[in-house]
Chain A
Amino acid sequence: MRALLALLLVLVALPALAPAAQAVEPSEMLADPALEARARDIGRGLRCVVCQNQSIDDSAAEVAHDMRRAVRERLVAGDSNDRVFAYMVARYGDYVLLQPPFKGTTLALWLGAPILLLVALAAILLGVRKRVVRPPPPLSAEERERLAELLKR
């Protein structure tokens, strides 16, 4: 039974662990493996602008192809990773970044979840403390009598 469950878990988790389908074509790749690895790093962080939630490395869209090529051109020209990102942001805005930058308009996005988590943890801790600290008061004589009657039924 346990083995079956473990197998099931692995099967469910597998798609998340496996590398996503790559749309990068061999013809696009750079000869220099170090540069190509950087290009992949950058490509995974850039959003394909016509497919909502895919990186340009995962997307087969025309625009994604052009963007991958542009990334490689910038790298070959000697740009740092940050400058390549800046190059894309200048053209498509922050939207193009799969990981949004940390700034005023994204405060709620970045801090919302951790703050909620902290609040929930605090609430749970308080509740537990309350329960542990207070021992229940004993039953009154009246209550005990009634209880005995009930349990006799």
Chain B
Amino acid sequence: MRSNRLLFLLPLLTLLVMAGFFGWSLLSGRDPASIGSVMVGRPAPALAAPALRAGDPALTDSLIRSGKPVLLNFFASWCAPCLSEHPLLTRLAERDGVTVIGIAWKDKPDAARAWLKKLGDPFKYAGFDLEGKIALDWGLSGVPETYLIDAQGVVRLHFRGPLTERDVSDRILPLLKAGS
């Protein structure tokens, strides 16, 4: 009889465990939609892309293995969140002297160029990936996404979605400072 009664408590216990898990999920700020990245800590994939701006040389792998850390940003002129992170990229390029490489993803080069003309162009090198083939090698899920590649050519950070002030001040800049 006693054990039977304990058995009745089992569903309640299960419910409590589940409620606890849900509560923790809600409160810990865990993002269940986050898919993580397998790129971080690995040597960066090969880079090869046609140049976005007329007269520029095409992007080659040597750009991300030059012995200097670089920031690689995938963007598109049709992407609204790209607008919000654009001033941050500009600031990183201008004030902090970061080498920022931009790749227009699934965007007509004309549209991407017009967009950069309108907003200002923070990219030291810019290419485009109309078909999304380069992006696939980088494990891209959409735009904007940003990779920090260190001096050794290893991906150190991978941001999915627009950068924020915190990303810049708490993660990107400290890593750059430590690396230089």
Tell me if chains A and B make direct contact, with any CB pair below 8 A.
Answer: yes
Chain A positions within 8 Å of B, measured between CB atoms, are: 49-50, 52, 62-63, 65-67, 70, 89-93, 95, 123
Complex: chain A residue closest to B142, CB-CB? A50
Segment among B49-57, B59-67, B131-139 that sits at the interface with chain A: B131-139
Task: Quote the shortest CB–CB distance from A146 to chain B (angstroms).
Answer: 23
Q: A52-B33, A62-B106, A123-B7 are in contact. Are A91 and B139 (CB under 8 A)?
A: yes
- A62 lies within 8 A of B142 (CB): yes
- Sorting the interface of chain B by its residue count into under 10, 10 to 19, 20 to 34 or 35 or more gives 10 to 19
- A93 lies within 8 A of B36 (CB): yes
B-chain residues with CB within 8 Å of residue A52 when the two chains form the complex: 33
Complex: chain B residue closest to A49, CB-CB? B141
B-chain residues with CB within 8 Å of residue A70 when the two chains form the complex: 133, 136
Interchain pairs with CB closer than 8 A, number:
40
Task: Quote the shortest CB–CB distance from B38 to chain A (angstroms).
Answer: 4
- What separation, in Å, do the CA atoms of A70 and B138 have in the docked complex? 13
For A66, give its contact among B36, B38, B132 (CB under 8 Å): B132
- What separation, in Å, do the CA atoms of A63 and B132 have in the docked complex? 8
In the complex, whether B178 has a CB less than 8 A from a CB of chain A is: no
Q: CB within 8 Å of A: which of B54-112?
A: 106
- A66 lies within 8 A of B141 (CB): no
Complex: chain B residue closest to A116, CB-CB? B14
- B38 lies within 8 A of A90 (CB): yes
- B133 lies within 8 A of A66 (CB): yes
In the complex, whether B140 has a CB less than 8 A from a CB of chain A is: yes
For B38, give its contact among A63, A65, A92 (CB under 8 Å): A92
Nearest 3 pairs between A and B by C-beta?
Answer: A93-B38, A91-B139, A66-B132
Q: Mark B142-161, 1 if CB is under 8 A from A, else 0.
A: 10000000000000000000
